Amino acid sequence: MSNYHPLTEQEAITLAQTHVPLLQQATSLTCREIGDGNLNLVFHIQDTDTSNSVIVKQALPYAKVVGESWPLTLDRARIESEALRIQGELCPELVPAVYQYLPELAVTMMEDLSDHVIMRSGLIAGNQYPYFAAHISEFLARTLFFTSDLGINQQEKKIQQGSFINPELCKITEDLIFDDPYTDSPNNQYNPAIQDVVDELRSDEELHLQVAKLRHQFLTHSQALLHGDLHTGSVFVTKQSTKVIDPEFAFYGPMGFDIGAVIANLLLNYAGQLGWMEEDQKRQAFQQYLLHTIQEIWTQFESKFRQLWKEHGVDRISAQPSFQDAYLTALLQDTLGFAGCKMVRRIVGLAHVADIDTIKQPELKEQAERLAIRIGTTLIKEHDRFHHIEQLMDKVQQLHAESL
Amino acid sequence: MSNYHPLTEQEAITLAQTHVPLLQQATSLTCREIGDGNLNLVFHIQDTDTSNSVIVKQALPYAKVVGESWPLTLDRARIESEALRIQGELCPELVPAVYQYLPELAVTMMEDLSDHVIMRSGLIAGNQYPYFAAHISEFLARTLFFTSDLGINQQEKKIQQGSFINPELCKITEDLIFDDPYTDSPNNQYNPAIQDVVDELRSDEELHLQVAKLRHQFLTHSQALLHGDLHTGSVFVTKQSTKVIDPEFAFYGPMGFDIGAVIANLLLNYAGQLGWMEEDQKRQAFQQYLLHTIQEIWTQFESKFRQLWKEHGVDRISAQPSFQDAYLTALLQDTLGFAGCKMVRRIVGLAHVADIDTIKQPELKEQAERLAIRIGTTLIKEHDRFHHIEQLMDKVQQLHAESL
């Protein structure tokens, strides 16, 4: 890493021109740094003549969160580019194309997605994405199946697992998702108005048992290569297109953690709509759209996953229908448990979501927070009791009704 | 590996003298190759003046089993020496000391244990080992606890896991233990007299479901650094001493696989005694000794493991008593499921055990085989129903009584 240094805009332009064929003939390139500066530099480089553009992303050797700064491995750039490459082979339409990875500079050059918006912002604005369930279920089914022992040579999988050992970024998840929210940690941030809920999170022993089990799964269940941070801020969308970005948390872990992340973030938006859509009918319709999307994501995921298993399963033993049924039931339960953990941390831990945090009216924000925590803790405590995705729809509606 | 070649006896002497302080002054060294020649060369080198001795073990680049030969990675010598080093730090009294590891030659020089006997042979001869339960439970508790997320920094564990990726040797286990016995595989070998039992193994769908679940655990549950092949042929004993050898199958897997291997091999000996001890009373007493040993192994393991957790647990979340109880119950169930798989493969798959295979009287051999399969399949199918080790004692005695 001796040549590593944070790039200037001019250096980013030179690298892009050198390594990206699309820009090699360009005579007039502009560059804007558009990252939030917390973890990475993100340069948007454009040819003003042709409008061709590219993203140059560079990992920084530290993380800045709420003013704090701590060192963070540059190896995550390798992990991100390698994960994007694998996902790109499995779902070329659903991730940005990678043009080049430069290990010494921790730089990845990739497709510019400026014509897309961050899904979280789109949902907050009340936009619907009719293809999202189809796209994300395809992404989940293919990336999880084909990196698991079900769909890849089981010896190759072990070697691949070895190249995705990602201790530092896993540590962030282990602490922020599976520990801090349940204790008095200095990392936590929350609305003082919900102190009663926070106290309950810290004292509920049945909740702690289930969090401990889910945490143990996260630590030990090397089921598939995960994206590792699949919230709606890691998804770029248009009405027609879905692109999953930023897999720097990628590692071999439990499949349900990725599926649960998607569901949790849709449910957080569901709760957040209490503060965004004033008109009851409109809000209810949008919440129904969100629930329907969740149901479709699981249903389509399950159907695609079973189809892949049928067509591409690599071993005899796992081909038994009874095993596949048991596998998918366990996966649904994991998914809902992890979804619950992901919801709770976004309300009381470090790093909240705009869906709820930027609600202006304090009483609506509090109401949304309480509903999110209520759904989250219920999923954590009861995840083992779910056998069909429809039960989730019913449960969310019941909890919502009770909270009114 | 360019300098790799199989050693001659003279080369082994020279290496030992160069690298082992104990032999540096020796003027009269003798050498005997004592390996079985299937996987490794094993040189026993002795100073005839002082009787000081050492083992020089060299991995061969192939495996020979029943005349077949297939290439096998020399990296297993690194894995074995590294596993011995870790085990040696955790339980110095319970593994051979490693003097030197030479990666280019895939050679490990280690403590000579010629004053010990292979435990399997000792048990066949009807010998009892009063300290074995205490020793092996100590080995299991310490090696499994301190390499798991419970007892080691969880980031260090991930890195360690990466250096124990062991695809080729895991593949042997995946095929021979979790696949072949349940299908018509050319690898299988069995007594034609038990064809009815073999047919049942191939057609029992409930059995296949449970084997698939256990296989999936073996493939994905990265719980602790396992020995990976902990049968009674990997244990050297005297009345007072126990030494665990040959961890070349070491990898990060489910703890129950190691504990189950020990229990399975004691149960195989239990069944085998039908052919060894003619006198009923003597045989029953020895079988009681074996059952008592199994019970002691689990009981002492659990108690030591809980004590380590209490004193050396690395995280807050897993310290909850309810989680510890759930963890140990799941571990007992895994243990018995894996024990069942290990028993079945030793009767119908490749590589049997002398405890049963060398019984001279055909009808007693068959009887022992049927009992072993009966216990094995019951453990596989019912492993989820065990909550106390005493239930295993009862179950074995019940199955034994039913088989008379």
**Percentage of chain B exceeding pLDDT 90:** 94
Give residue A149's pLDDT: 98
Around Cβ A39, how many Cβ atoms within 10 Å? Answer: 18
**Buried b / exposed e across A307-332, counting CB within 10 Å, b at 16+?**
ebbeeeebbebbebeebbebbbebbb
The structure tokens listed for B180 are 């072949």
**Percentage of chain A exceeding pLDDT 90:** 94
Torsion sign (Cα): B26, B28, B32, B33: positive
Which of B167, B168, B322 minimises the CB distance to A209? B322
| Whether B208 contacts B233, CB under 8 Å | no
Give residue A404's pLDDT: 81
Residue A71, φ and ψ in degrees, nearest 5: -65, 145
Within 8 A by CB and 6+ apart from B71, the residues are B61, B62
Which of A159, A223, A318 minimises the CB distance to B165? A159
Q: Between A351 and B241, name the one with better pLDDT.
A: B241
* Selected residue of A225, A323, A331 to mutate for chain B interface (largest B Cβ count, 10 A): A323
With a cut of 70, say whether residue A216 has pLDDT above it.
yes
Give residue A67's pLDDT: 56
Cα dihedral A159→A163→A164→A169 (10° resolution):
150
d(CA B302, CA B138): 10
DSSP characters over A9-66: HHHHHHHHHHH-GGGTT-S-EEEEE-S-SSSEEEEEEEETTT--EEEEEEE-SEEEET
Contact A209 B326 (CB under 8 A): yes
3-state secondary structure B366-397: HHHHHHHHHHHHHHHHHHHHCCCHHHHHHHHH
**Percentage of chain A exceeding pLDDT 70:** 98
Strand partners, B168: none
| CA-based nearest residue in chain A for residue B325 | A209
Give residue A150's pLDDT: 98
Contact A154 B219 (CB under 8 A): yes
Give residue A62's pLDDT: 85
Contact B165 A183 (CB under 8 A): no
Which of A178, A212, A326 minimises the CB distance to B213? A326
| Whether B266 contacts B344, CB under 8 Å | no
Band (A39; pLDDT cuts 50, 70, 90):
confident
Contact B320 A155 (CB under 8 A): no
| Whether B151 contacts B225, CB under 8 Å | no
Band (A393; pLDDT cuts 50, 70, 90):
very high
Q: List chain A residues with CB under 8 Å of B326.
A: 209, 213
With a cut of 90, say whether residue A2 has pLDDT above it.
no
The structure tokens listed for B87 are 């085990």
Q: Which residues of A touch B (CB under 8 A)?
A: 149, 154-156, 158-159, 161-162, 165-168, 170-171, 174, 178-179, 182-183, 205, 208-209, 211-213, 215-216, 219-223, 315-318, 320, 322-323, 326-327
Q: List chain A residues with CB under 8 Å of B215.
A: 317-318
Within 8 A by CB and 6+ apart from A86, the residues are A143, A147, A225
Q: List chain B residues with CB under 8 Å of A326.
A: 209, 213
| CA-based nearest residue in chain B for residue A170 | B155
The overall average pLDDT reported for chain A is 96
With a cut of 60, say whether residue A66 has pLDDT above it.
no
| Whether B290 contacts B266, CB under 8 Å | yes
Q: How far is CA A12 from the centre of its chain?
A: 27
Angle at A358 between CA A354 and CA A362, to 5 degrees: 140
Residue A349, φ and ψ in degrees, nearest 5: -95, -160
Domains of chain A with bracketed CATH: 27-111 (3.30.200.20), 117-403 (3.90.1200.10)
Contact B216 A149 (CB under 8 A): yes
Q: List chain B residues with CB under 8 Å of A160.
A: none
Q: How far is A234 from chain B (nearest CA, A)?
A: 25
Q: List chain A residues with CB under 8 Å of B159.
A: 165, 167
| CA-based nearest residue in chain A for residue B219 | A149
The overall average pLDDT reported for chain B is 96
B7 DSSP 8-state letter:
P
Q: What is the pLDDT of residues A360-377, one digit of tens each?
A: 999 999 999 999 999 999
With a cut of 70, say whether residue A144 has pLDDT above it.
yes
Which residues of chain B are modeled with pLDDT < 50? none
Q: List chain B residues with CB under 8 Å of A331.
A: none
A398 by DSSP, 3-state: which?
helix
With a cut of 80, say whether residue A296 has pLDDT above it.
yes
